[in-house]
Amino acid sequence: MATEITVPVLGESVTEGSIGEWLKQPGDAVAVDEPICSLETDKVAVDVPSPVAGILSEHRAAEGDTVEVGAVIAVIEEGASAGTPAPAAKADPAPATSAPADTGAAQTLSPAVRRAVLEHGVDPSTIKGTGKDGRLTKEDVIAAAKAKGDPAPAPSPAASSAPAESSSPVTGRREERVKMTRMRQTIAKRLKGAQEEAALLTTFNDVDMSAVIEARTKYKDMFAKKHDIRLGFMGFFAKAACLALKDVPSVNAYIEGDEIVYHDYVDISVAVSAPNGLVVPVIRDCQDKGFARIEKDIADFGKRAKDGTLTMADMTGGTFTISNGGVFGSLMSTPIINPPQSAVLGLHRIEDRPVAINGEVVIRPMMYIALSYDHRLIDGREAVTALKIIKEAIEDPTRMLIDL
């Protein structure tokens, strides 16, 4: 009996998505609840599980196609177990490349991973995947290539096919066109929309991180032992932001039509890197949470962003955003707000710099911080005040304990 697989409900107000990757090919055996493909929406990538066991007989959509909720995307012939081998006639032909002859692995590799395997000449069956359900990622392949001493991708087929007697140098120049993912298209639209609609302005300050570094060094072992989580810097900035947003409520508000919506809570969106781009899951009621709970939430978001298991609910809402470009080495930036929010705090790398204190030049671990804000709602005085409160709280963490 044939069972049609349809696009599931993807979340409130989400009516369509794109086929990101087919995890099962026609002829493959499928178990109950086994993912057959991933769908990319405006915010997250979700797996589509099979409701039955059997053999995947056909795809009704190709990778990259836009599909609406309820649309049929595949057909499964029921009756075969997950261990039943796929019929030989339906199996995909082995690619005519130099990739290792492990067809089971080849069928489950994404296009990006397959390209990396071919370029670096590694055997995918020997690499442990860190993606969801143990799937290989492009980063896994690159790491494996570096581990075996492969500093650069293998020459492209076009370059290696050049005649040996040719005197002209082979540059290996090439171009590749890749369709933007739905998530990347949405990121582009939202950021451009924020620039066009909001009156964006950024104010800067610098922070002496000595006190936070000292506190972290002193308590990190006890903290990890008690709470089973690493004490990071983000928890300090999240709590400092809560103090600032309480004293300057417009920074925690947003414009809706001709009204200003204020919030008596702080839901902080934390910018996290995911395979398909930047996502911003939300730490809810941050004003009521302690350092341990905040750090656990952030760690959980980071792991699930890498695994591709963040949900629409994780990304919904948010009244303020913190983006940490310092983890990538950024010294200074002007972050763009995350609509409909009105402000975003940008963190950057910590570096030793000479500063004047009490008439003497000393070396201190300093960080530039930036607050980008919508000038339609937030005055310059309010933005500068909010950033100054954050600076003072980080330089004297006791303020966070006594709500000062």
Catalytic residue among 92, 247, 285, 375: 375
CA neighbor of 388 nearest in space, from 399, 401, 375: 399
Q: H-helix or E-strand containing 339?
A: none
The yes-or-no answer on residue 375 being catalytic is yes
Residue 213 to residue 152: CA distance in whole angstroms = 38
Angle formed at CA 331 by CA 326 and CA 334, multiple of 5 degrees: 90
Catalytic residue among 33, 133, 288, 379: 379
Residue 189 to residue 75: CA distance in whole angstroms = 34
Residue 2 bridge partners (DSSP): 77
Q: Which residues of 169-206 are buried (b: 16+ CB within 10 A; e: fewer)?
A: eeeeeeeeeeeebbbeebbeebeeebeeebebebbeee
- Longest CA–CA span in the chain (Å) reads 84
Could you write out the DSSP letters of every residue in 79-136?
A: T--TTSPPPGGGSPPPPSSSS-S-HHHHHH--HHHHHHHHHHT--GGGS---SGGG--
Enter the tokens of residue 261.
Answer: 């919506």
Catalytic positions, written as ranges: 375, 379
